[in-house]
Chain A
Amino acid sequence: MKIVVCIKQVPDTTNVRINPETNTLMREGVDSIINPFDMYALEEGIRLREKHGGSVIALSMGPPQVESALREAISLGVDEAVLLSDRAFAGADTLATAYTLARGIRKIGKADVILMGRQAIDGDTGQVGPGVAENLGLPHITEIRKIEEIGEDKSIVVERLLEDGYVRLKTSLPVLLTVVKEINEPRLPSLKGKMAAKKAEIPVWSAADLELDTQRIGLTGSPTQVMKIFTPPRPSGGKIFEGDVQSTVAQLIAALRDAGIAIGQKKGEA
């Protein structure tokens, strides 16, 4: 079985802080990590290989330093890794990223299962998976919490998390799946894995290697443009709401929603 796991190197957004004076995000000194949801995808890919044989290939698109994330994937037990890197890929939105990754997967060839985490913790969109599947003409299923079984006949049964439960679905390989944290407990790297990662050769494929439409990649391939980035208003001092019970509660909920917090949201949503 050929398993391709797409991973993204992201800043550890859970550890960023806001500079109280300038009200800007203090991003320097924040570690680069493998997107936490992709760790679950890597683990699932390795488990599939342990169960069904074959190989696991980690794939990522980004600047040269992303190689360290791919080496980390190898230290966990992935067989090979490929980096898609080119200045021309920079500035890609999810449409361009999905296109580029799909070309990479096509070049790897004959993938049976393509895995990735449900979303990246910097972009928080969850859009690349479905986009890659569309580019490859494959079915995709998001929010996978369990791969129940893969049959000899290439049928695959999965459990997909919904807002109010889960649904069991059946389709056949090849398929693209995005996974949630409930799916497994990712392993730690092993020393042998780390040694293999040190020695591993990770090919870097540029735009020229991928036979793609240069109009569809990077900034050029991105219909969406970020016009402004700002830090949301966070309460500074303590504000005690005045009024009766009904009014104070209403003020509280409004204040929280104004800060962009989706309070009252159910499990499984963004």
Chain B
Amino acid sequence: MNYFLTEDQQMIKELAAKIAKEKIEPVAAHHDETGEFPWEIVKVLAQADLFRVFIPEEYDGLGGGIMEMCIVVEELSKACGGISLAYAASGLGTIPIILFGTEEQKKAYLPRLAAGEILAAFALTEPDAGSDAAAVKTKAVPDGDSYVINGTKQWITNGGEAFIYTVIALTDPSRGPRGASAVLVEKGTPGFEFGKKEDKMGIRGSATRELIFTDCKVPKSNLLGREGAGFLVAMKTFDQSRPGVASQAVGIAAGALDKAVAYSQERKQFGKPISSFQGIQFMLADMATQVEAARALTYQAARTIDAGARNVAKISSMAKVFASDVAMKVTTDAVQVFGGYGYMKEYPVEKMMRDAKITQIYEGTNQIQREVIALQLIKESLQKKD
């Protein structure tokens, strides 16, 4: 199937697919079972230069954009949606630095991120601030040349493994959400600790931890963007990272589809492979169509962002909500195709179903995404009327 990728994009896709098949697939079940962080895969990705694909050339990147990142995330997710998250979540943590970093900040972190020497993470969610992100309570109170950070962030992907964290905190609590800013915090800063590693339903090859800030002092030069622009940083970051989540979902779904198609030809019942039954054929056809549509929408969102379009929220949300719903449906159907075997941990598809669920929840629940899309539709229709 031709997706009209450039030569470089094709090259990236082939290399990511090779790593997925040769390095990730053999260890996916192990990381799912133990929850061990896949540092050995991070090393392979780093050596292959995959962390460079969406970082500008002047910071040792290869100068690609969201499309290139999506291509990598999708290929890796076909083999394991949890292990691919080490890469994708680092991408999420890198984007704010690329969009809002000063020259010093970019120079300090982007080359190391490009080399895969360190990982990044993005910290917005709190115990009482999920979809209601504006309810964040973590403070980063100015104190002379520093900010003093107090509070906790919850369910941060790459938490504990990443080196550099973009934390959304209130630098001026009196102004509410308009008083929030984005602050860069390095692992190892005194007063910055991690909670226990969460025991998750799926994506167990990824690390999810609480971030605990107790009088954590960071220099004011760690401010990312302007004071008060915290939610702007977050929204712009999510606009660009949503296709990444969509790609993760597409990858998980595509991986499940491949397994289901292969299995249906091996499994014989009533003297025939089950792939010869229309009931199964229709399921597979629907699964494949959904995956293709999800991929097309994701690529559209990625390409729109890379083309520099100003209003990308709607298409970006559409890609995320559609692809994640597809992933949940396709993986559930894959388990169904596998029948009793699909329910057993010994076979790979139940893991994919567990992995898919989170894509409907994080980086903005699908309910929030729908709200974003609806509001945008209404806004556009009002504008047309004028």
Specify which of B8, B12, B47, B52 is in contact with A187 (CB 8 Å cutoff).
B47
Question: Inside 8 A of A190's CB, which chain B residues have their CB?
Answer: 47-49
Question: From residue A190, how far is it (CB to closest CB) to chain B in Å?
Answer: 4
- The listed residue with most B CB atoms (<10 A of its CB), out of A189, A191, A193, A195, is A191
Q: How many A-B residue pairs have CB under 8 A?
A: 31
Which of B14-22, B85-93, B325-333 sits within the interface? B14-22
Question: Inside 8 A of A195's CB, which chain B residues have their CB?
Answer: 8, 62
Specify which of B48, B52, B62 is in contact with A188 (CB 8 Å cutoff).
B48
Specify which of A187, A188, A189, A191 is in contact with B53 (CB 8 Å cutoff).
A191
Specify which of B18, B23, B49 is in contact with A192 (CB 8 Å cutoff).
B49
Residue B344 at the A interface, CB < 8 A? no
- Chain B, residues 1-16, CB within 8 Å of chain A (1/0): the string is 0000000100110010
Question: Inside 8 A of A189's CB, which chain B residues have their CB?
Answer: 15, 48
Instruction: Please report whether the interface of chain B is mostly helix, strand, loop or mixed according to DSSP.
Output: helix
In the complex, how many residues of chain B place their beta carbon closer than 8 angstroms to a beta carbon of chain A?
16
Question: Is B18's CB under 8 angstroms from A191's CB?
Answer: no
Q: Which residue of A lies closest to B12 (CB)?
A: A191
Question: From residue B17, how far is it (CB to closest CB) to chain A in Å?
Answer: 11
Q: Which residue of B lies closest to A194 (CB)?
A: B11
Question: From residue B331, how far is it (CB to closest CB) to chain A in Å?
Answer: 28
Question: From residue B15, how far is it (CB to closest CB) to chain A in Å?
Answer: 6
Question: Inside 8 A of B19's CB, which chain A residues have their CB?
Answer: 188
Instruction: Please report whether the interface of chain A is mostly helix, strand, loop or mixed according to DSSP.
Output: helix
Question: Inside 8 A of B23's CB, which chain A residues have their CB?
Answer: 188
Question: Is A188's CB under 8 angstroms from B49's CB?
Answer: no
Question: Inside 8 A of B15's CB, which chain A residues have their CB?
Answer: 188-189, 191, 194
Question: Inside 8 A of A194's CB, which chain B residues have their CB?
Answer: 11, 15
Residue B253 at the A interface, CB < 8 A? no
| A195 and B52 alpha carbons, distance in the complex (Å) | 13
Q: Which residue of A lies closest to B22 (CB)?
A: A188
Question: Is B11's CB under 8 angstroms from A188's CB?
Answer: no
- Chain A, residues 188-222, CB within 8 Å of chain B (1/0): the string is 11111111000000000000000000000000000
Residue B44 at the A interface, CB < 8 A? yes
Q: Which residue of B lies closest to A192 (CB)?
A: B49
Residue B50 at the A interface, CB < 8 A? yes
Within 8 A of A (CB), among B217-236: none
Question: From residue A200, how far is it (CB to closest CB) to chain B in Å?
Answer: 14
Q: Which residue of B lies closest to A197 (CB)?
A: B11
Question: Inside 8 A of A188's CB, which chain B residues have their CB?
Answer: 15, 18-19, 22-23, 44, 47-48
Question: From residue A208, how far is it (CB to closest CB) to chain B in Å?
Answer: 34
| A189 and B11 alpha carbons, distance in the complex (Å) | 11
Within 8 A of A (CB), among B20-75: 22-23, 44, 47-50, 52-53, 62
Question: From residue B13, how far is it (CB to closest CB) to chain A in Å?
Answer: 11
Question: Inside 8 A of B12's CB, which chain A residues have their CB?
Answer: 191
Question: From residue B11, how far is it (CB to closest CB) to chain A in Å?
Answer: 5
| A189 and B17 alpha carbons, distance in the complex (Å) | 12
Question: From residue A46, how far is it (CB to closest CB) to chain B in Å?
Answer: 12
Question: Inside 8 A of B62's CB, which chain A residues have their CB?
Answer: 191-192, 195
Question: From residue A69, how far is it (CB to closest CB) to chain B in Å?
Answer: 16
| A192 and B53 alpha carbons, distance in the complex (Å) | 10
| A187 and B48 alpha carbons, distance in the complex (Å) | 9
| A195 and B19 alpha carbons, distance in the complex (Å) | 18
Specify which of A187, A191, A193 is in contact with B50 (CB 8 Å cutoff).
A191
Within 8 A of A (CB), among B316-375: none
- The listed residue with most A CB atoms (<10 A of its CB), out of B15, B22, B52, B53, is B15
Question: From residue B187, how far is it (CB to closest CB) to chain A in Å?
Answer: 27
Question: From residue B109, how far is it (CB to closest CB) to chain A in Å?
Answer: 20
Question: Inside 8 A of A192's CB, which chain B residues have their CB?
Answer: 49, 52, 62
- The listed residue with most B CB atoms (<10 A of its CB), out of A189, A193, A195, is A189
Specify which of B22, B44, B49 is in contact with A191 (CB 8 Å cutoff).
B49
| A187 and B47 alpha carbons, distance in the complex (Å) | 8
Question: Inside 8 A of A193's CB, which chain B residues have their CB?
Answer: 49
| A188 and B49 alpha carbons, distance in the complex (Å) | 10
Within 8 A of B (CB), among A118-165: none
| A188 and B12 alpha carbons, distance in the complex (Å) | 13
Q: Which residue of A lies closest to B19 (CB)?
A: A188
Q: Which residue of A lies closest to B11 (CB)?
A: A194
6 residue pairs from A and B, CB less than 8 Å apart: A187-B47, A188-B15, A189-B48, A191-B12, A193-B49, A195-B62
Given contacts A189-B15, A191-B62, A192-B62, 4 further A-B contacts (CB under 8 A): A188-B23, A191-B48, A191-B49, A195-B62
